[in-house]
């Protein structure tokens, strides 16, 4: 049976926020949904993490854009959607849900809310803003009230599911942990790296925020030293850039390269093709143990070996990926990289197994199947 799905909200897209666009593409390709898109898709170059570092005036303008754009989009859907139809609200879905919560429950559409990033969590905890500030409490209350009116709340891992339920007092039966969606096509043509080279090329991709554990990676680079035949390439920028600036100035550390500019999917595919190993997160407990970031999807799709911390979570009903996980400590990370440096056979086997894992369990086809099973 083909079901009707409306798309509503002021929605983020592009390389920094691929999930919504690629989820819609996956559902269109599944032939299980008739999709009506009334979303206001925001410019691809808009990145919330950059605006969060700007003035209150800039943040206020963005909030107004998201609020009014979501209101107009939701109103268009409200007059068209029937009781049996579904409404998908991509991230940041909270703005659609705020308007939805004002509609009496008997007329309220069934909204499927993309909540894989909590606005309160990312604004007041990721960026180390004080959680005791009145604004933090207000944002947390608004987000919780909004999410409680959703028919389904989609998160990305089981640990995030438990956290969202506890943080916002959500009905557990309404929260589902599904894989994220990426456009994996740029990574399909990347081939394996087959031999011992002058240096093991280790790639880190990501916004420089605390959950990535940059201090652990920097300490590992110091432990390995300039004679290790291991070269680190960092791709990203953010609030913890000073850790890399300090490392860059030092001499007694492993080879170091840092690209600060924002990377397109094509740029990422080039970086992944040149890499021998990709790094995950090393931020320890807390949010770092709850996330499965986009960069790990990309690395697996490209068939690249992954080293990440042993505190992690996955979408529901998935086995552990065949990557190398270590305690989030510099000595364990350094030891894992030395092991991979000396074993191209292990790198190739791990890369092939991770690519197969992605295709079987995290691809767009798998996501569409999970929507059919869980979004009812």
pLDDT in tens, 315-359: 999 999 999 999 999 999 999 999 999 999 999 999 999 999 999
Per-residue model confidence (pLDDT) at position 128: 47
pTM of the model: 0.90
Mean pLDDT throughout 107-122?
Answer: 87
Per-residue model confidence (pLDDT) at position 311: 96
Instruction: Say whether pLDDT at 28 is over 50.
Output: yes
Q: Are 96 and 89 in contact (CB under 8 A)?
A: yes
Per-residue model confidence (pLDDT) at position 61: 81
Burial class of residue 335 in the structure, from the number of CB atoms within 10 Å of its CB (0-12 exposed, 13-18 middle, 19+ buried): middle
Name the percent of the chain lying above pLDDT 90. 68
Instruction: Say whether pLDDT at 124 is over 90.
Output: no
Per-residue model confidence (pLDDT) at position 192: 63
What's the chain's average pLDDT?
90
Q: Which domains does the chain have, with CATH numbers?
A: 3-177 (3.40.50), 185-361 (3.40.50.2000)
Instruction: Say whether pLDDT at 109 is over 50.
Output: yes
Higher pLDDT, 268 or 135: 268
Per-residue model confidence (pLDDT) at position 54: 64
Burial class of residue 100 in the structure, from the number of CB atoms within 10 Å of its CB (0-12 exposed, 13-18 middle, 19+ buried): buried
Per-residue model confidence (pLDDT) at position 333: 98
Mean pLDDT throughout 58-85?
Answer: 88
Categorize the per-residue pLDDT at 15 as very low, low, confident or very high, splitting at 50, 70 and 90. Answer: confident
Spatial CB neighbours of 131, under 8 Å, sequence gap ≥ 6? 124, 125
Q: Which of 22-26, 63-67, 340-344 is the least confident region?
A: 63-67
Categorize the per-residue pLDDT at 14 as very low, low, confident or very high, splitting at 50, 70 and 90. Answer: confident
Q: Are 212 and 242 in contact (CB under 8 A)?
A: no
Q: Which of 102-111, 191-200, 244-253, 336-345 is the least confident region?
A: 191-200
Per-residue model confidence (pLDDT) at position 207: 86
């Amino acid at each position: 049976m083909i079901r009707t799905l409306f798309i509503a909200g002021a929605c983020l897209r592009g390389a920094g926020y691929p999930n919504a666009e690629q989820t819609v593409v996956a559902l269109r390709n599944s032939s299980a949904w008739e999709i009506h898109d009334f979303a206001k898709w925001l410019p691809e170059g808009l990145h919330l993490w950059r605006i969060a570092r700007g003035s209150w005036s800039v943040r206020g303008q963005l909030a107004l854009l998201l609020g009014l754009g979501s209101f107009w989009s939701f109103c268009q859907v409200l007059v068209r959607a029937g009781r049996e139809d579904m409404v998908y609200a991509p991230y940041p879905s909270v703005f659609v849900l705020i308007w939805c919560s004002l509609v009496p429950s008997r007329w309220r559409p069934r909204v499927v809310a993309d909540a894989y990033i909590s606005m309160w969590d990312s604004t007041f905890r990721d960026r180390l803003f004080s959680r005791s500030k009145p604004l933090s409490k207000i944002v947390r209350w608004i987000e919780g009230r909004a999410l409680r009116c959703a028919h389904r709340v989609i998160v990305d891992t089981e640990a995030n599911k438990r956290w969202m339920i506890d943080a916002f007092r959500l009905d557990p039966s309404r929260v589902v942990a599904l894989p994220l969606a990426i456009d994996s096509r740029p990574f399909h043509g990347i081939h394996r790296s087959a031999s011992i080279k002058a240096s093991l090329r280790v790639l880190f991709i990501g916004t420089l925020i605390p959950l990535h554990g940059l201090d652990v990676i920097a300490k590992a680079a110091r432990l390995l030293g300039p004679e290790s035949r291991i070269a680190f390439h960092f791709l990203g920028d953010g609030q913890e850039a000073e850790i890399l600036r300090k490392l860059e100035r030092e001499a007694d550390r492993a080879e170091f390269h840092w690209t600060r500019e924002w990377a397109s999917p094509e740029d990422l595919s080039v970086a992944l093709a040149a890499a021998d190993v990709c790094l995950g997160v090393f931020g320890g407990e807390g949010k770092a143990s709850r996330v499965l970031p986009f960069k790990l999807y990309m690395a697996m799709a490209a068939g690249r070996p992954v080293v990440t911390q042993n505190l992690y979570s996955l979408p529901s009903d998935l086995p552990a990926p065949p990557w190398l996980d270590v305690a989030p400590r510099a000595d364990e990370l350094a030891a894992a990289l030395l092991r991979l440096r000396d074993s191209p056979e292990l790198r190739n086997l791990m890369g092939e197994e991770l690519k197969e894992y992605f295709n079987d369990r995290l691809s767009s086809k798998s996501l569409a199947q999970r929507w059919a099973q869980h979004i009812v």
